[in-house]
Amino acid sequence: MQHDNHSTTPITTCITIRTLFLSILFFSLSSLYSTAKATVTELDHIAVIVNDDVITEKMIDNRVFDFKKQLKLSNLSDVDASSLRKQVVERMIRDQIQLQKSKQFGIQVDDLTLNRMLDQLAASNKMSLDDFRKTIELEGLSYSRFREQTRNELIIKNLQQRLVVSKISISDQEIQQYIEQNATQDDSNVIYHLRHILISTPEEATPEAIKKAEVKSDSVYRKIIAGTDFEHMAIKESSGRNALKGGDLGERKANELPQLFVDAVKKLSPGDVSKPIRSASGFHILQLVSSSDNSVIVQQTHARHILIIPDDKVTDEQARETLLELKQKLEDGDSFAKLASKYSNDPGSKKTGGDLGWASPGTYVGKFESVMDSLKINQISEPFKSQFGWHLLQVLERRDYNQTQANKEKAARKAIQSRKIDEELRLWLRRIRDEAYVKYLDKKGDE
């Protein structure tokens, strides 16, 4: 059993005690160990030398004990003991090397940061920190060791971010290629809700009969596009089995539909109707009711603002008063763009007259978005304060925006990034392992 120790994602949120300790298992596989030199006593001797540091028998025994406990909770208690020990030792060596490099770069995690991380872990398991600690200890695991492993995990994530992750780049071309390559693979997981009209043709239709059906289907299509209700047209004209249901086919997975249907609707937005498509049974008209293809319609807002940032020379009250004066000027007919260019402290929007462009929900901090959502078109807000300073905000326009493509691009970027991180970290870990001086003094850990 082997797990990479270079995961850059947070510990998986767990819901039950069993899954909690499953996550601790994966976490511990990537945990790091103290680089402090061990004091060698008769009860504890050096097992492995790693550059200028050591791993002792006691350290190994502790980690093997923890893993055995966690494997038992994960129903994997039958793992071979010698294989487990060898795996633990190698993991400890790699982790020791990375901790050494972290020291070279001055990377540390203080107690405040560590406590915040532990609070987050406890909260993700719907526990208080005290209950989280008790749960770990009730299973026979050392909370103090878990705490230090958490600290070291944060250290190594910072190291990997600095030396590997931050150097990875993804081009727009890579994203588009990924989307195109995976387009057909994703179809089988899509659930479509369709309505259907069939203008049928005889089994051995003559050219005249086919033409007649084609003309009729085109006429039906044009009536629907002009505003006639699809369901009414289905009841009136369709030869399909679901005609009396308004042509409703219900929700079906893509692989449960004819590929002809999937090809016709996969680029439609909800409510859109396909042009008539021909099959052996006649001409089909389809309406997409909805799909699970991550199609997301959101309301975007186009706004502009003036930002005044309080500092040593400008108090909160002075910033607010300035914005009140600017609002009066705007109401008297002054140009918002000119005032923003002159007075705003926002370097990004100052150059464009305060224009923030189009934004989807979640783009801005809570207070700013709350005020923006409350405004009518062209309305100017009262001065208000966010974490960035004092704002005067105006909403210019709103629109419904299909965010499907943006979501696909976001998912593609994440998938490509994950693959690249995995590849680069694998190479980097192998390189630093090969460059390190490692000497086994314990035959049980020898390779």
Listing DSSP states for 22-43 in one string gives: HHHHHHHHT-----SPPPPBTT
**Residue for token pair 């002054």:** 334
Do the beta carbons of residue 2 and residue 18 sit within 8 Å? no
Domains held by the chain: number: 3
User: Which CATH number fits the domain that encloses residue 228?
Assistant: 3.10.50.40
Strand partners, 194: 250, 288
CA distances from 109 to 99, 101, 148 (A): 12, 14, 10
Do 27 and 100 reside in the same domain of the chain?
yes
Do 282 and 305 reside in the same domain of the chain?
no
In a domain, 397, yes or no: yes
Predicted pLDDT at 32: 35
Domain end residue (candidates: 272, 291, 310): 291
User: Which CATH number fits the domain that encloses residue 49?
Assistant: 1.10.4030.10
Do 196 and 155 reside in the same domain of the chain?
no
Do 305 and 283 reside in the same domain of the chain?
no
CA distances from 82 to 55, 263, 443, 444, 446 (A): 17, 55, 11, 8, 11
Of 232, 231, 237, which Cα lies nearest the Cα of 195? 231
Of 267, 269, 254, 287, which Cα lies nearest the Cα of 186? 254
Domain end residue (candidates: 241, 270, 291): 291
Domain that holds residue 245: 190-291
Do 30 and 135 reside in the same domain of the chain?
yes
Do 161 and 198 reside in the same domain of the chain?
no
Predicted pLDDT at 18: 42
Predicted pLDDT at 188: 55
In a domain, 185, yes or no: no
In a domain, 414, yes or no: no
Q: Block means of pLDDT (10 residues each) for the chain, length 447 residues? A: 39 38 41 40 79 93 84 67 83 94 94 91 90 89 90 94 93 87 62 93 88 96 95 90 88 83 90 94 94 74 96 92 96 96 94 94 92 96 94 95 77 86 89 92 55
**Which helix (H) or strand (E) is 412 found in, with range?**
helix 404-435
In a domain, 2, yes or no: no
In a domain, 321, yes or no: yes
Q: Is residue 83 classed exposed, middle or buried when 0-12, 13-18 and 19+ CB atoms within 10 A define those classes?
A: exposed
In a domain, 330, yes or no: yes
Domain end residue (candidates: 291, 314, 336): 291
